[in-house]
Structure 1
Amino acid sequence: MKKLVNIICTLSLFGFAFFALAVCAQENQTIVFGVHSKTAPLEWRNNGVDQGFNVELMARIGQITGKRIKVRRKTFQQLLADVHNPDSLIDVIAVVSPVTVERVLSQSDPIYATHAKAYTLQGKSFINGWHDLKGKRVAIKKGAFVDIYISGQAQDFERVDVDLYETGFQLLIKQQVDVVIAENFVARRLMPLYPSVRSSSDPLMYGAFNFVSNHKNAMLMEQINAAIRQLKLSGEYDRLVNKWFGTGREKVDLNSAQQRLLSLAILISLISAIGMILTGYISLSLRKRTKALKLELTQRKKAETAISELSKQFQAVLDGIPHGVTLFNRAGECLWSNDNNNDLLNNPDFHYLDGQPFDLSSTLFEAINNNKSIIADMVIHKQYWQLQLHLIGSEQAVILLEETTEQQQLRQANDEASRLASLGELSAGIAHEINNPTGIIVHAIAFINDALADLSVAANHYQQQNPFWNIAGLTPTPAMDELKLSGQSIMDGAERISRIVCDLKRYALPTVSDEYQLIQLNEVVQASLRLTANQIKNLKVVTHLQNPSPTIKGDEQQLNQVLINLIQNACHAIVLDATTYDDQHLSISTSIEQQFACLTVTDKGQGMDQATLQRITEPFFTTRRSSGGSGLGLSVCSRIIKQHQAKMQIKSRIGQGTTVIIRFPLESET
């Protein structure tokens, strides 16, 4: 009996073990897939049947791996708890992982890419980045990939945790939060249900759908990855993606879609029946109207063609006007413009010549009310404009803008020329007045020098009689020597004054004839150096003059003007400092080359670039506008040189100075 009991127990234990192994084997051949139905577009239900991308994908993975798929539908929070629990019956769930964050759990290859954006109510401002969320109430789904992405980062916004994205949208509608950060696919499903919500940002973060499992299922995850790769290589994966995630498509509930399609089909049928009845009636009317319309259309086309051609011609004329033309109404609204400088009318720097500010609205209002035209000179950024306002009817006015900068500069240049002419006449008079006392000084010092020669003998004789006699604190002999030197210095100074006055009188004389005289080029150089002695007194000037002097035909006064201008330009270009004080600053030379007399002026100044060099002789072009330069000096010199049948060549490099060579036709003295 005891032996029989032992046999029964042994068989029972064996049967239980066999049953346990069978159950275990069945479990090893099953993949329990956790599904959260509200996480679109992963899963849908149609007539109670689960369907969706992951359902089909897991079914194909089950076929490839030889395992049976079981679907367990739970809440998102339950799925998160199960996947972290090694003893859970759930093997795999689908979640979204940020692309910059790796999950600690075992996960598959990326299945499909997605992103998260900010969503607000209609009319709210656009969210350009995380910094625009500062101070706002932001709904974040707890445990979602948005939550994982921002965990551990500084948050300048007030976070409101929600269980579902839909809960966040509901809070947004109630204005209990300002922003919802939601995953793209979920928001696409929810937005038709909440029409007052809109997408208000570019993607703030990117993520990817993955299958996630506990580490105890690492071997299972390797089998799933192998199956996914096989599906990708075969192209079946792409077909599933296009089916469920097709670009621009949104999956919907099939029952509601069928109902809407049926209602739409009935409506279209009714409309079609009514349309057929109306079509017969309308077609009869249209036949009658067609003939009349064809005739009217032909006439209108002819009229429109003529008007269009006339309009194009008129528009071409207006657009071709270089001045600004703008038409305004009484309210200051622009009715038409040729877009030439009309922006000046609203520029706050655009003002009258006397400095009064210009206001377009008040000017239009005053002109239209008083029924008068306005013509005024305007200024903006050293540019001069003439503004003309003329009335068109009683409610409109046209404003014409014409730039008058060049005319203004010519007017200023004319005023400057008039002042220079007056200064020339005044200089001639002053020179004459200086010449008279200078002549007296010359005659007086000549007499004093002769007297000193005679008095030197008497001084020696008187010194012998009175050894202690001094002249101005000096003994007689050195005193007499100092008097002789002083007399000679006075004589030299007076003669120099006389030469300068003579040169100044010749320079100030107007040119009364075009008949040039034979002149010595060296004398032009010497006279110009005397007239510019004050400007070049701190410079080291070297002259190399051809001997005998080259002879040319010309006007000495005009050539002095040219050379003086070149010397003054060189003085402005030269910067004196301790490193260049002993260097040669300015060199002036005359020479003969073949049949030409050459005048060369070389300075060690700052030099010019090619852009400046090409425009150096243009009227009103100057690099010294801020320091008073008019831009007329070299332009006048160029004209004088051309009148003398000469040619001017200018060479210059930045930091190496400038060389000006003028070649005159050589004349022979007869």
Structure 2
Amino acid sequence: MRYLLLALALLCFNSYAEQSITFGVHSKTAPLEWRNNGVDQGFNIELMDRIGQLTNRRIIVRRKSFQELVSDVHNPDSDIDVIAVVSPVNLGRQLSQSDPIYATHAKAYTLHGKGYINDWQDLIGKRVAIKKGAFVDVYLSGYPQEFERVDVDLYETGFQLMTQGKVDVVLAESFVARRLLPLYPAIRSGSDALIYGAFNFVANNQRSALMTEINDALRQLKLSGEYDALVNKWFGTGREKVDLTSTQKRTFALAIVVSIISAIGMIFTGFVSISLRKQKRALKTELAQRLDIQRQLVSLSKQFQSVLDGIPNGVTIYSHDMQKLWSNDNNIELLSSAEFHHEDGRPLELQALVTQVLAKQSSQIEEMAYLQQFWQLQVHPIADNQVVILLEDTTEAHQLRQANDEASRLASLGELSAGIAHEINNPTGLIVHSISQLQQAMADCQPAFDSYQKQNPFWLITGLPPEQALAEASHSCNTIEEGAQRISRIVSDLKRYALPTLSSEQERVSLNEVVNVSLRLTANQIKTFQVSIQLSQPAAWVYGDAQQLQQVVINLIQNACHACESGKGHIVIETRIIADEQAIISITDNGCGMNRSTLARVTEPFFTTRRSVGGSGLGLSVCSRIVKAYNGELQMTSKLKQGTCIKVRLPLAKEESN
């Protein structure tokens, strides 16, 4: 008898092993299935295991992509028997499917700050991501919508496209979206449920007999309460409605299953024990991971709070009824100050601004002023009818914009000056030429004036005696010529300053020769001063344009002469080489010197301390521009009543090889 029972058990086991159900699993459909530490887990997997036990079939789990599973379930020759998918509650699939397993829904997901989707009309004209083959796709196949459809392989692909700005909305099933939202913080739930559905086991119609067995086992599990236990385990909710149909049939099937389990009790007990140990280890690992994540979240929350408290900008959260919910207290007193107003002078009406932002669900940025400071006020809508208000001090940026505007005006003035200089230059040349002819004519007419004076002793010119009148006329001619030459010099400075680029022709130039030529051209100006010349030997050579460098040295010599008192001034001009890398021209005087504020502005265009005597304020500005064009530097030191030293540093030119 004992051997007979053993043979019966082995026979039953062999029959059980020969029959199987291949269950296709999509690995990204949490929390119904997932893999933890290499072990397949989830509601559907555990439910299929129990169905396999009740139907005397071995459950084989095969993991494939969603598209492969959808293709397999439509193929009668596929190696996949059953998959778990969602069907809309008001639409049926063409395939054989089980009783509903678990209710779910789909809704719209959008980026934070986008408008709420109240119904299908709000999707018109938008780019909407739809998972191909999912229950949303099945539902929409019978309901054409007026939006631009973008097919994706996974809901996660839709989320990625939305963060890249390629779609506006993702219609996603809630269970999957709940898993994805922590991975995409820029995305939020943007609507109520738009489609209701239910999870079902689905198989090809040629496997309808197998689906009948699965349905019988599923109903038996619901009657026995095991289904409710699984639902509570994986979802935390129970099933209250009990299907009472075919109770007698399921009870008989349960008796058969119990008999089979008794026959193979030892084997099944060992299998369950191993499975429970694995599951226990997995649960311990999961618990440890969750505790670790909880500790990390607490730490991250503290760090985030510390960052918010430490940033210089003010951050405050208000409710729709203007209750302050949280603030880092930075500059929050400005929001209630009567002197905190818009840049155009309008007073700040904070409550009206918050109401407007919440009504439009769009951010608003305002430029504000407080005393001599400037601020930027940002109001952004967040969840639960709340707004976050950011206050940023923009005084420095405002001052930089003003400085940039001033620089632009100076640049425009330089361009305008070039045009004016050109228009003035022609009449100035005519004046100089005409005065020269007038002076020569007066000299040639002098004998005729003398002869006529003898014939008519009482002759007057402009009411003056002829000699006095001629002297006054000669003085006036000299004054006119001097004024015209002064205008010509100013025009020349303006034209040099307004040049768009300096000469690009560069050659090796001797600084000693530049100094010698400059001294010859300024000989008339420096003759009343003591001038010391110290030129380097061998001569220092640089790359540049000789005439432009002479212009720099001449301008610096003239400035030194203007700063010194005639007969007492001492000017030292020197060239030298430093460390075989740089050449220097220095011009030092013992003149009046400059204070710190004047020294800081001396190279600004049109700035001069000699405007009353004809200074244009362009000389040092042009010099600085020329030196910088040759990768050089203009260095100045000065003290009031002690003198000034200006050094021109230029890169030393390498000796040319023969």
TM-score, normalised with respect to structure 1: 0.39
Q: Work out which of the two has the higher radius of gyration on C-alpha atoms and give 1 or 2.
A: 1
- Normalized against structure 2, the TM-score is what? 0.40
